[in-house]
A and B are shown apart, each in its own frame.
Chain A
Amino acid sequence: MRMPAFLRLTIRNIIVNIDIGTLIFMLGLPTLYLFVMGFMFQGIVTAGVPVGAAKTVSYTTFLAPGIIALESFTAGNIGGSMLWSDRRWGMFERIMVGPFRRIDYLLGIITVSIFFAFVGSLIMLGFALTIPISLHVTIESVLLSVFAIIVGTMLFSSLFLIISGLSKSMQAYNTITIVLFFMLDFASTSFYPITSKTPEWLRIMSGSNPLSFIANILRDSLILNVTSGTLFYALILFIVMVAFLLTSLRIYKNIRSGI
């Protein structure tokens, strides 16, 4: 039986991306965040983290879904950046004159991003359980978590596809991705809750950050309760993903060769 072209490209993307740098970025950093940041802050935030309706959870319990959400961002970054790397090192052009359609290449990137996101999320979930955190698992919460990871990863891989498609130099690409990495990572609800004491500008920034939506959905699904608010986050996340995906498709369509 013939393997579909996009799956062959996905396997290629996995093999090419499994190196020490990618593993540190995908697993090492989030693990450090989870254990180092988690336990350090837990020692400071002794009263727990407020999660609405006069409820609090330990900081590590609060952080764990945020770290799992971070895997969508990281995997989306790795996947989306493949376009840039392939353009920079000539493989985009070579693949485009190979036995593939343009859509195969794009699907290969999205599929590998989702694959990395799931592998990373499962590993982080496994680590989180050793802390330990108590999970609240229902069919609904599992489905919603899977939805958040898939849609979130597609959103971020689209975002990085856009940057890869528009970047004209290595410096520009690196600068944009580093700035985005810090802005999206730390100005989100992955690490800190938005409270009444959060400055207005940071509340807006964090509240409109797609990573916050993923973190909120995962937190509600895995450790709290799914509410209409969770579904609202899911809807917004989906809409933003579609907008990013369409934009990336438009840019991708016009890319012909390397940088």
Chain B
Amino acid sequence: MDSAITVDDLVKSYDGKKIAVDHLSFRVGYGEIYGLLGRNGAGKSTTIKILTTLINYDSGNAKVLDYDVSKNGSEIRKRIGVVQQEEAFDFTTVENNFKLYGMLWELKREERKSRMEELIDFFDLDEIRKKRMYDLSGGQKKRVQVAREFMHDMDIFFLDEPTVGLDPIMRRKILDFIREYTKKGLTVLFTTQNLEEADYLCDKIGIINNGKKVAEGTSSDLKTKYGALRTLKIGYDSTIKLDKDKVIDGINPLYIKEINITSDEVTVISSYVEKIVNKILQNIYNAGIKTEKILIDNPTLDDVFIKVMKK
């Protein structure tokens, strides 16, 4: 058992026409958080539905915890937690939703109660615990939906855009909570359109478009590989006017997309900032100018995503 999730050459079409998943392959290691990124309709939810045994696939292979998803569904379902993209709740109070979950997952009464209390406390649900689910806001419902999953033990947690509608503080709290669980061995497959949170949470990221995987790697790998233009800003204090040719002397012109020099700052836009920064600093120093500050903005996953999608 090398991977908790193995997806090989997976194909799924709806009505034999619309291909939702197109020869998709990826692996998620034990205790790893894998983020599946993609635009609306990219095939993320379909992939999760296949892996959670809700729908069948047309061809390829998919294994969860070494069980074939098309043959051993019940074994898999015992050991996973799922937060669907859509709302999912029982038409009763928040508290009852927790209790029912505990009962459905065969928790003993005392354990049910203690877990519920812990989760209600952690997810700030105390004020709304007696409220009925349909009286809650979208964000509150989502909070219950995520929190409720921790009522039962699981080896793999599938989350399909779980933080939609949550405020930034709660979003961060939930992501940290999930990360804590991975330290205990939980494996997570996570889909999101919020690239910032994928960057924050995921050990590995797969970007899919039209059902196909178009990029994969750690966040920093992807940024290095697909990192779009970055900006280098060097502030200086001098009465001497800096000359553009002197600043980029000895640097391959192809490395520089744009350069702008003002009376106190040099701004360089380039895809190769790491390669040119030392040389530029050297050139400024050689011109007898003292640099005061250096700023390099990091590429974001947004830049990577846009670039990959354009490809």
Contacts and interface: CB of A to CB of B under 8 A. Distances in A.
A89 to B, nearest CB: 6
B105 A91 contact: no
Nearest to A21: B91
B191 to A, nearest CB: 15
Contacts of B49: 257
Given A97-B80, A98-B77, A257-B54, A90 B100 contact: no
A12 B104 contact: yes
A17 B161 CA distance: 30
B92 interface: yes
A101 B96 CA distance: 23
B300 interface: no
Interface stretch (A2-10, A166-174, A194-202, A217-225): A2-10
Contacts of B100: 12, 15-16
B44 to A, nearest CB: 15
Contact of B77 (A89, A93, A97, A257): A97
Residue of B74, B90, B103 with most partner-chain A CB within 10 A: B90
Interface string A75-95: 000000000010001110111
B91 A85 contact: yes
B20 interface: no
A19 interface: yes
A96 interface: yes
Contacts of B170: none
Contacts of B74: 99, 101
A99 B87 CA distance: 19
A41 to B, nearest CB: 36
A12 B78 contact: no
Interface string B84-126: 1011111110001000100111100000000000000000000
Given A89-B87, A90-B84, A94-B82, A99 B92 contact: no
Interface residues of A, number: 25
B52 interface: yes
Nearest to B132: A19
B53 interface: yes
B149 to A, nearest CB: 10
Interface in B48-69: 49, 52-55
Contact of B52 (A9, A15, A97, A258): A97
A258 B91 CA distance: 16
Interface string A89-128: 1110111111111000000000000000000000000000
Contacts of B88: 89-91, 93-94
B55 A9 contact: no
A258 B87 CA distance: 10
A91 B77 contact: no
Interface of B: 49, 52-55, 74, 77-78, 80, 82, 84, 86-92, 96, 100, 103-106
6 contacts: A16-B100, A19-B92, A91-B88, A93-B54, A93-B86, A97-B77
